Amino acid sequence: MAQTQTTPKTPPGPAAPARTRSTGTVLAEALRGNVRQYGMLVALALIVVLFQIWTDGTLLKPLNITNLIQQNGYILILAIGMMIVIIAGHIDLSVGSLAAFVGAAAAVMMVKHDLPWPLALAFALLIGAVAGAWQGFWIAYIGIPSFIVTLAGMLLFRGGTQILLQGQSIAPFPKGFQKISSGFLPEVGPHTNYHNLTLLLGLGVLAVAVLQEVRGRRQAASYGLELLPVGFFLAKLAAITAAVLVFTLLLASYHGAPIVLLILGALLVGFGYLMRNSIIGRHTYAIGGNEPAAKLSGVKSKRVVFLAFVNMGVLAALAGLVFAARLNAGTPQAGINFELEAIAAAFIGGASASGGVGTVLGAIIGGLVLGVLNNGMSLVGVGTDYQQVIKGLVLLAAVGFDVYNKRKVGS
């Protein structure tokens, strides 16, 4: 435990903590810690507003919001796993192929062998875990760079997909399985103009979010930490409330919350908490930040890296299942370029190429920036050729902005 000791008194130097500071400084400091994430949140809002105008309001129509979630669900799932792999200082190029492979395997199990879909789903996730373990073994325990191992995996799993499917699509899937991607929360309760369960869920989320904020603030205060001024705090709460309510009402006025959104929400909360508050999450950041130092601090870095890849495998499998369910087929062409979208999402959302930095929420924000761009540009009628050019520039700009910002702060 902390010891008490008589350290020699030193005169307060320039670095001594100054408790009285202007609101501006406090705010600036709060922002500086997360420039990239706040920046991206602002950018996301900006993009949404722009496309909302350009599409004459189509972007934020309930139907389109629902589409947006269902179209991007699998990329967001991949982005979460990718973020963790990148935080650990690695990369995974194989996730698109692995997603296709798992989708194909699920199709074979359900369609050709008539396996009940929940069982097939469990097997499929297991396949993902095994594939992740295979790659994690070579990376963590043998020491082959992840770039090489997963490049090999990209070929391996793509080939495996084609072997499994023999060049053909397999369809259709059982109804229950399709629901993973196209289903919604069930309708219950009296007939209102809105989807009741979704409304309740939205209110629940809101209550928890506000409670968390307040609790966090109270605890921060009890430890004598610096707080946002009350005005800003209230503004933040109001912003959270408005965002959750608007989003809930939009969804509830259509079919309600899609199942994919529930999966995503659970993953976001679960992995967000895991990375922030669990020992293994902490160790992941430490390895990415300085692996030799982490090892000398007793972190079992091989095991952590191995597990990060196992986790990526499972999430890639889940993404593959969601995608297959959406397509209602297992096809050899599934998952092409998914890895690139997921990697781009992670970097737009604040990951550092050298590891040790990033958050799960950031990966979601990054993925949404890409998703809204995709969706918005399609609505406006921009061709896929120009869409790619623009997305490339956005990735470059986001990371470039961050590098520039770090240099300004660091020098």
Partner 1 sequence: MAGPVLEMRSITKTFPGVKALSDVNLSVAAGEIHAICGENGAGKSTLMKVLSGVYPHGSYEGEILFEGEPCRFKDIRASEQRGIVIIHQELALVPYLSIAENIFLGNEHARRGIISWHRTLTHAAALLKRVGLHENPQTRIADIGVGKQQLVEIAKALAKEVKLLILDEPTAALNDEDSRKLLDLMLELKAQGISCIIISHKLNEIARVADSVTVLRDGRTIETIPVGADGIAEDRIIRGMVGRDLEHRYPERTPEIGETVFAVEDWTVQHPIDHHRKVVDGASLTVRAGEIVGIAGLMGAGRTELAMSVFGRSYGRCTGGRVLVHGREVSTRTVPQAIGHGIAYVTEDRKHLGLNLIDDISRNITLSALGKVARRGWVDRHEETKVAESYRASMNIKAPSVFAETGKLSGGNQQKVVLSKWIFAGPEVLILDEPTRGIDIGAKAEIYQVIADLAAQGKAVLVISSELPELLGLCDRIYTMAEGRITGEVARADADQESLMRLMTVSAAPQTAAPQTAVSRPEQV
Q: Under the rule (CB under 8 A), what is the footprint of partner 1?
A: 1-8, 10-11, 13-18, 25, 33, 219, 223-226, 276-280, 282-283, 285-286, 289-290, 292-300, 352, 356-357, 409, 411
Report, in Å, the least distance between residue 168 CB and partner 1. Answer: 45
Report, in Å, the least distance between residue 272 CB and partner 1. Answer: 13
For 373, the token pair is 């761009």
User: Cα separation of 343 and 348, whole Å?
Assistant: 9
Burial of 229-246, coded b for 16+ CB within 10 Å and e otherwise, reads: eeeeeeeeeeebeeebee
Report, in Å, the least distance between residue 383 CB and partner 1. Answer: 41
Report, in Å, the least distance between residue 9 CB and partner 1. Answer: 9
Residue closer to partner 1 by CB (options 61, 295) is 295
Residue closer to partner 1 by CB (options 27, 239) is 27
Beta-carbon contacts of 247 under 8 Å, excluding residues fewer than 6 positions away, are 65, 202
Residue closer to partner 1 by CB (options 112, 406) is 406
Residue closer to partner 1 by CB (options 294, 346) is 294
**218: exposed, middle or buried (Cβ count in 10 Å: 0-12, 13-18, 19+):** exposed
- Could you tell me if 358 and 351 are in contact, meaning their C-beta atoms sit under 8 angstroms apart? yes
Place of tokens 């400084």: 25
Report, in Å, the least distance between residue 274 CB and partner 1. Answer: 9
Report, in Å, the least distance between residue 304 CB and partner 1. Answer: 12
Residue closer to partner 1 by CB (options 72, 284) is 284
Residue closer to partner 1 by CB (options 286, 373) is 286
User: Cα separation of 280 and 277, whole Å?
Assistant: 9
Place of tokens 């430890």: 223
Burial of 55-91, coded b for 16+ CB within 10 Å and e otherwise, reads: beeebbbbebbbebbbbbbbbbbbbbbbbbbbbbbbb
Report, in Å, the least distance between residue 386 CB and partner 1. Answer: 37
Measured CA to CA in angstroms, residue 223 lies from 22, 208, 236, 262 at distances of 20, 22, 21, 35
Residue closer to partner 1 by CB (options 3, 166) is 3
Return the amino acid letter for 114: D
- Could you tell me if 67 and 125 are in contact, meaning their C-beta atoms sit under 8 angstroms apart? no
